[in-house]
């Protein structure tokens, strides 16, 4: 008896959509019935593409009663939200790579999918080709995950890696990354941390089992990182990475944020270079586990989309399709304000070459209950100033901000060059 084909509609035929079409050609049980595109006349890099299945009206897909699965790879909230909501109301299963949509509208879409007994799978939305959602929901489902440390954006990791290895400025590497296609013409979404924030919002919700609000995630990008910061960090035994962090506090609150961090060269995340992504989970009983691989790209992302399509295809007809993969979060996380967090800090200042200036820095920090772990002073320049870098012991964010305010008011401190948190 011939296996019945699972019929899908694809919304978007850009880089990822093209990859999806190419990999699905090897699966006889999957039929792409319709593909929605912006421009019907655009030349496509797909051999033997049947152009009769193309449409510039995506609602033809979500309202098509023939389809089992709608695959969305266009990104953004508008029109993706209306399209997927309509598809779910029409009983379609969803596969999406849309991290922004999940972060902003996921709660509503997941609730609607549960009501309609459909499933939303989104492996490609978090870490490209790295399998992370399915393992958390299945193999690791018996674990109490309490911490996530992740590099979730290839563009920023490429820039920081290049700065560290070649000693060049952020601006110089950004131009190169744009020329190579690693960075967008407008790189704001990547370099200011929005992309990573969208991803950690959903990942933290799944792993910590509490619904995280994207609007309460502290976010800071990499645009203030200098070649000097890279050099000083290296001398102190660190690399600088854009880290997406999520952890449970002792009070069972969630601490979720995205910002640059000094990462010890001994830590596994320090070895994640270039456009590679990585997710490290800590929990019980598993301990500490690491997932690493390509975080973007045509075929790595298509791999995750394909896995989701096949998982649904094998389960179609079940009374309760893929129950482990459905959203079951009922608790809204109590998210910790950044000012209440406890961190170690890297502080880089330019100071007058005055006797006692390092002691002055120590005294100011001490007045705000901050102890210094290490101090690095670099040579005197022609203006008789010196670069001084300190690493603090763990202290409260609000205290470090008060200390920085007082340092700025001190006549011996000419400039606060940077303040970067240190990963423990």
Give the CATH fold of the 342-422 domain. Answer: Alpha-Beta Plaits (3.30.70)
81, containing H or E segment: helix 80-89
Angle at 166 between CA 164 and CA 168, to 5 degrees: 85
Give the CATH fold of the 133-294 domain. Answer: Dihydrodipicolinate Reductase; domain 2 (3.30.360)
Q: What are the residue ranges of CATH 3.40.50.720 in the chain?
A: 6-128+298-325
Catalytic choice (92, 137, 199, 241): 199
Q: What are the residue ranges of CATH 3.30.70.260 in the chain?
A: 342-422
Residue 280 to residue 373: CA distance in whole angstroms: 26
pLDDT single digits (tens) 311-329: 999 999 888 888 888 887 7
Q: What are the residue ranges of CATH 3.30.360.10 in the chain?
A: 133-294
Is 326 a known active-site residue? no
* 146 in Cβ contact with 246 (< 8 Å): no
Beta strands of 176-314 (E only): which ranges?
218-219, 238-248, 254-264, 276-284, 287-294
CA quadruple 58, 61, 64, 65: dihedral, nearest 10: -140
pLDDT single digits (tens) 122-145: 999 999 999 999 999 999 999 999
Residue reference for tokens 């939200």: 81
CB atoms within 10 A of CB 14: 13
pLDDT at 1: 39
The residue ranges of the chain whose pLDDT is under 70 are 1-3
In this structure, whether the domain defined by 6-128+298-325 belongs to CATH 1.10.10.10 is answered with: no
pLDDT at 2: 52
């Amino acid at each position: 008896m011939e296996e019945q084909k699972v019929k899908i509609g694809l919304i978007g035929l850009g880089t990822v959509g093209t990859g999806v079409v190419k990999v699905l050609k090897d699966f006889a049980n999957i039929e792409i019935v319709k593909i929605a595109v912006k421009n019907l006349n655009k030349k496509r890099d797909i051999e033997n593409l049947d152009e009769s299945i193309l449409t510039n009206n995506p609602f033809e897909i979500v309202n098509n009663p023939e389809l089992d699965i709608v695959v969305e790879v266009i990104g953004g909230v508008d029109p993706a939200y209306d399209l997927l909501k309509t598809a779910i109301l029409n009983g379609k299963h969803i596969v999406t790579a849309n991290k922004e949509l999940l972060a902003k509208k996921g709660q509503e879409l997941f609730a609607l999918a549960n009501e309609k007994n459909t499933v939303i799978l989104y492996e490609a939305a978090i870490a490209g080709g790295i399998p992370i959602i399915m393992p958390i929901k299945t193999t690791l489902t018996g674990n109490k995950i309490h911490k996530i440390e992740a590099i979730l954006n290839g563009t920023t990791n490429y820039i920081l890696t290049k700065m560290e290895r070649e000693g060049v400025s952020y601006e110089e590497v950004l131009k190169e990354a744009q020329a190579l296609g690693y960075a967008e013409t407008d790189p704001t979404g990547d370099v200011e941390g929005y992309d990573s924030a969208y991803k950690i919002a959903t990942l933290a919700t799944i792993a910590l089992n509490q619904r995280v609000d994207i609007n309460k995630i502290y976010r800071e990008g990499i645009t203030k990182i200098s070649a000097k910061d890279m050099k000083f960090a290296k001398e102190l035994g660190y690399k600088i990475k854009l880290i997406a962090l999520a952890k449970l506090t002792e009070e069972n609150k969630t601490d979720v944020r995205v910002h640059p961090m000094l990462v010890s060269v001994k830590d596994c995340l320090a070895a994640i270079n270039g456009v590679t992504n990585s997710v490290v989970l800590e929990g019980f009983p598993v301990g500490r586990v690491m997932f690493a691989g390509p975080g973007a790209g045509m075929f790595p992302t298509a791999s995750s989309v394909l896995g989701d399509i096949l998982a649904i295809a094998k389960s179609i007809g079940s009374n309760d399709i893929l129950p482990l993969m459905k959203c079951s979060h009922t608790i809204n996380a109590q998210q910790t304000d950044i000012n209440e967090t406890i961190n170690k800090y890297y502080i880089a200042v330019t100071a007058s070459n005055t006797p006692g200036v390092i002691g002055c820095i120590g005294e100011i920090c001490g007045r705000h209950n901050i102890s210094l772990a290490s101090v690095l002073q670099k040579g005197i320049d022609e203006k008789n100033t010196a670069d001084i870098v300190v690493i603090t012991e763990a202290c409260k964010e609000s205290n470090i901000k008060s200390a920085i305010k007082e340092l700025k008011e001190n006549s011996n401190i000419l400039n606060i060059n940077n303040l970067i948190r240190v990963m423990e």
